[in-house]
Structure 1
Amino acid sequence: MTRVCRLVAAALAITVPAGALVAKPAPKRAVAKVDWTRTFGTTSAGGYVVGNPKAKVQVIEYGSLTCPHCRHFAATAVKPLLANYVRTGKASYEFRTFVLNGIDLAATLVARCNGPAHFFPMADQLYATQPTWSGKVEKLSQADQDKLNALPQPQMMVSIAKTTGLLPIAASHGIPTAKAQQCLTSQAQADGLMQMIKGGEELGVQGTPTIFVNGKKVPAFDWASLEPFLKEAGS
């Protein structure tokens, strides 16, 4: 027997412990988690929504970009809502505009111009800097304010956007100035926002922010007052 054959025979003669040749299961691959804060849509009510469309908990805010209380809600409640509930798919968050004034209308027309994916980050910036840009119109002289109010609505919206600095903010969020001006002068867009106000009033909305959790209006004004309703709806 050649040396090679002797080595093979010796190998075959080795006693193999029971189960030693059983294949080990392949390690489980980590399932990629979906970040639902990157999923956007438009609802039948005209609102912009972020999150899992099949989420068990649905949060709707009727808000205004010039409302200080909405700014507070955005900072204290919306951020943790997105991080703790929307991101994981447990909840969705919809923003329905409830326009309060001309400045609000101009800001909303610009912010909504490129759809929900651009709206939410721009709205976040507008809330963070709200006193700065919204206050610029208030600082105009009475004569200049009178001139502004005398303009036809499309021209007024463009003038407000220029005065407040909304156009460069929009551009930083991927909304070119030419497109922003088209949205500002769109009667169809303005009519859609007025229709959203009407829909809110039919649901009992009288001011901003007004919050609904799974269709029920709730007294929520910050995270501490909102989260109990989220837990109850998701239980």
Structure 2
Amino acid sequence: MQRAVFAMVLGIAIILAAGLWYLQGAQKPSASNADPVAGAHVVYGKADAPVTIVEFSNYLCPHCKHHAEQNLPLIFAKYVDTGKVRYVFRDLPFPTQNNVELAAQAADCAYEQNKYYDYHELLFRANELWGRAPLDELPKYFADYAAQLGMDVPRFNACLQGGKTKPWVEADKALAEKLNINGTPSFFVNGKFVEGFRPFSEWQKIIDEATR
């Protein structure tokens, strides 16, 4: 009996570990000729910045949330806003994550009103709410977030309900497949792959090395 219980617990632990590995992006992409910047829609920073960071993210990924909350404000303040980094946001909803896919489309609709960054942050802060909501109720959540940020809600709703930014998300997913990315967060810094969550102290080193 004890052996059976131990085996069951071990099996659950392995499954959970595998799930965490998948979300962290434990495998490095294999060689690909695809350009991680190609066709990007959501871009911040100067076009001629010496460093370009491309982030593939997922709104229900805990490590992506940590990056958004702990690193992005510092990266933007020190590097993006000072012209040293161009930052590209890309989405990677996993299969069957219809709620994440719609959240990504909503954030892209916010970009049309110059509110992407704020909406991006809000989606992560509130992901325990909308992440559990039925799919047909999500537009109400997302419209409410748009209102909280002072956006033109009718324009936002028309964008989301009309599927205007759906091709953006689909293009990001297709590019991730070409780049052999299967986990989040995943980054490219001047074309060099960087996997998983890193503290800001490491990001400083990564960015500074990329400028040399």
Q: Which range, TM-score by smaller chain?
A: 0.7 to 0.9
1:96-130 C-alpha deviation (Å, 9 max, x unpaired): 11123111122222221142621111111222232
Aligned 8 A contact 1:45 1:199 in 2:
no
Match for 1:105: what amino acid? E
Distance 1:188 1:128, change over 3 A: closer
Q: Which residue of 2 aligns with 1:89?
A: 83
What is the aligned length?
A: 172
Relative to structure 1, is the Cα distance of residues 50 and 194 closer, same or farther in structure 2, using a 3 angstrom cutoff? same
The aligned residue for residue 70 of structure 1 is 64
- How far apart, CA to CA, are the structure 1 residues paired with 2:176 and 2:190? 15
The structure whose RCO (Cα within 8 Å, separation 6+) is larger is 2
1:46 maps to which residue? Answer: 40
TM-score by length of 1: 0.66
Q: Secondary structure at the match of 1:175?
A: coil
Deviations 1:164-212 (A, max 9, x none): x221111233433332332223345223311211112211211111011
Inter-partner Cα distance in structure 2 for 1:118 and 1:103: 20
Rg larger in structure: 1
For 2:139, which of 139, 157, 161 is the aligned residue? 161
Q: 1:128-176 deviations in whole A, cap 9, x for unaligned?
A: 23223323x1xxxxxxx5xx5xxxxxxx4xx3222xx221111233433
Runs (5+) with no aligned partner, structure 1 = 1-42, 138-144, 149-155
- 2:156 is matched with 180
Distance 1:59 1:194 in 2: 20
Q: Deviations over 1:71-117 (max 9, x none)?
A: 01112221211111112111111101112311112222222114262
Helix, strand or coil: the match of 2:48?
A: coil
CA distance in structure 2 between the partners assigned to 1:186 and 1:208 by the alignment: 28
| AA in 2 matched with 1:49 | V
**SS of alignment partner, residue 112 of structure 1:** helix
**Which residue of 2 is the match for residue 229 of structure 1?**
206
Moved over 3 A (4+): 174-177
SS at match of 2:187: strand
Percent sequence identity is 27
Q: Whole-Å Cα distance in 2 between the matches of residues 177 and 233 of structure 1? A: 40
The correspondence of residues 118-197 of structure 1 with structure 2, limited to 5 A, is 118-135=115-132, 137=133, 156=136, 159-162=137-140, 165-197=141-173
Mapped partners of 2:159, 2:83: distance in 1? 32
Q: Please say if 1:109 is aligned against 2:132.
A: no
Task: State the AA in 1 paired with 2:41.
Answer: G
CA distance in 1, matches of 2:196, 2:100: 22
